[in-house]
Amino acid sequence: MSPAIPLSASGRPLIVGDSEPTAPYPVFANGLVMTGFQRGSKQLGIPTANMPQEAADHIAHAVQSGSGIYYGWASVGNDATVYPMVMSVGWNPFFKNEKRTAEVHIIHQFDEDFYDHELRIVVVGYIRDEKNYTSLDALIDDIKTDIQVAEHSLKRPAYLALKSDAFLAPPPPATTNANGTN
């Protein structure tokens, strides 16, 4: 028998999906970080880097259900460091958005914002459907559990392997020609 799947305090399974990513994952996307709705996600401790519309639409079409909560790996700008991430794709029923968004919360404390920097992501799996909530606290609690789910689920070897995918490497520095004139 395989060992029992650990549960969150709220009773959700902390490991989701198969032992390795299955189609359509992994899904790759990149784009420059946009300004979002400035709803104070940052003040709530859960800043989300918003993908440009084309990237959001690409992700929504590539992942299994068009909207939902997903997890994977992310890197930013010229930095090669790869971090775990959780992502919300959809219309945020709690806030009644009119456009589809893909918002990435990187599981790392950054010293500075990175608007306009390139965000590269590898989506490795699905966590849950988007929900509507009666309180902001309930939404925040679920996001905190999503973070735990991502951390646990990414430890499996086939998921960990994608952390070193070449797609997440920053673009090579601009080269200069032999006499340095370009």
CB atoms within 10 A of CB 66: 15
| Closest CB 11 distance from ligand ADP, rounded Å | 27
Q: Say if residue 24 is preceded by a cis peptide, omega within 30 of 0.
A: yes
Tokens of 16: 């989701």
- CA proximity to 102, closest of 16, 12, 27, 20: 27
Assess 85 for contact with ligand RBF (CB under 6 A).
no
- The per-residue b/e assignment along 35-65, b for 16 or more CB within 10 angstroms, e otherwise, is ebeeeebeeeebbbbbbbeebbbbbbebbee
Judge whether 103 counts as a catalytic residue: yes
Q: Should residue 133 be labelled a site residue for ligand ADP when binding is judged by CB under 6 A? A: no
The full DSSP string for 45-75 is T---EEPPHHHHHHHHHHSSSSSEEEEEEEE
Among 30, 41, 67, 153, binds ligand RBF (CB under 6 A): 41
Least Å distance between CB 88 and ligand RBF? 3
Here's the x/- map for ligand RBF, 96-135, by CB under 6 A: it reads as -------x-x------------------------xx----
- Residue placing its CB nearer to ligand RBF in the complex, 36 or 170: 36
Query: Minimum Å distance from CB 9 to Mg ion?
Result: 26
Interface residues with ligand ADP (CB under 6 A) are 33, 35-38, 41-42, 47-50, 105-106, 108, 110, 113-115
